[in-house]
Homo-oligomer: A and B are copies of this chain.
Amino acid sequence: MKIAVDAMGGDNAPGEMVRGAVAALAQRELEILLVGLPEEIEKELAPFRNTVGERIKIVPAADVIGMNESPGRALRQKKQASVVIAARLVKEGKAEAFVSAGNTGATMGAALFQLGRIKGIKRPAIASPLPTTRGMSLLLDAGANADATPLYLSQFAQMGAIYSEVVLGVHNPKIGLLNIGSEPEKGNELSREAYALLDKLPLNFVGNVEGREITAGAVDIVVCDGFVGNIVLKMIEGLAMAFTIRLKEELKLGLRNRLGAALALPAFHKFKGSLDYQEYGGAPLLGVNGVCIIGHGSSNARAIENAIGAAVMAIKKDIVAKIVENIRKPEGG
């Protein structure tokens, strides 16, 4: 199994990407193609050369798309960008998946342009892990489509259900529509119309869910547009940080608190770890004609290793074929 990794994508590229790829080789069947500026990758790879042998190869790319570049312009100007070449390797059958923690818009654009959409799918969606008190849920769309239609949302739900069942092994996953009230008529125009569509599909649709419920893990799949989804995920990140800061401040006040905090330190660290995005790996871009895993921009080696693990699972379970087989053709489209 061959996986292409955009070695230049992300805040910590290429060092953490290379170390993540090396760590992922613990999965025995794997070969990794590191795509990017050869000298930079070679430098990071040098300490591991003897152990990785021929299982990591470098595929040269002349350009790099920066995290803050405008995706559209960058893709037009940088035809040889690492993320483009990584996507092209999948298109050409030289890799079975690609992983990038770089500029999300550019990754989506490269995936769409090189791999195309699955027939019948209006828009691909990013399916992101969502930490809850009961484990992990899946949220989509996490930011691929800032504006969505009811039909898009109904397809996000279907793709999420297929991924959850086939790749994550969740039996008959519960689907909730993120909304601001539980009754079908609650919410905005988009959510009301999406509710009506979802209610008609052969899915385990449990209705509307609110912000409080999704953090409690009430459903396996949370459906929303990419604007709301992206805000939700960034709120969780921001709040995890904010809560840790506040708690630390409180625990610094007074000897008794400081002693208590010192004793409970390992538990704090475990708690923080459970909220850490690095542990959850990447998010698949569902709906494109190939496997594309999008990593968090601040991914470290552990996150990249997990993102590669997500790619391995998606390939093994043949997620693209499963979506092709199971997606319901939209009426009239």
Contacts and interface: CB of A to CB of B under 8 A. Distances in A.
A330 interface: no
A207 to B, nearest CB: 14
A245 interface: yes
Contacts of A133: 242, 245-246
B242 A268 contact: no
A266 B210 CA distance: 31
Interface string A296-324: 00000000000000000000000000000
Contacts of A243: 239-240, 243, 275
Interface stretch (A27-35, A115-123, A186-194): A186-194
A212 B238 contact: yes
B251 A267 contact: yes
Given A189-B147, A268-B250, A180 B230 contact: yes
Given A263-B259, A264-B257, A270-B250, A242 B132 contact: yes
Interface string A228-240: 1011111111111
A214 interface: yes
Contact of A260 (B234, B263, B271): B263
Contacts of A257: 263-264, 266-267
Total copies of this chain within the assembly: 2
Contacts of A256: 263-264, 266
Contacts of A216: 238, 241-242
A253 interface: yes
Nearest to A255: B263
Chain A, interface size category, equals 35 or more
A211 interface: yes
Contacts of A231: 178, 180, 210-211, 228, 231-232
Given A235-B215, A235-B236, A180 B251 contact: no
Contacts of A212: 234-235, 237-238, 241
A146 B263 contact: no
Interface of A: 70, 132-133, 143, 146-147, 178, 180, 183, 185-189, 191, 210-216, 225-228, 230-243, 245-247, 250-251, 253-254, 256-257, 259-268, 270-271, 274-275
28 contacts: A133-B246, A146-B188, A146-B191, A180-B226, A210-B231, A210-B234, A212-B234, A214-B238, A215-B238, A216-B238, A216-B241, A228-B228, A232-B235, A235-B236, A239-B243, A243-B275, A246-B271, A246-B274, A247-B268, A250-B267, A250-B268, A250-B270, A253-B267, A256-B263, A257-B266, A257-B267, A260-B264, A261-B264
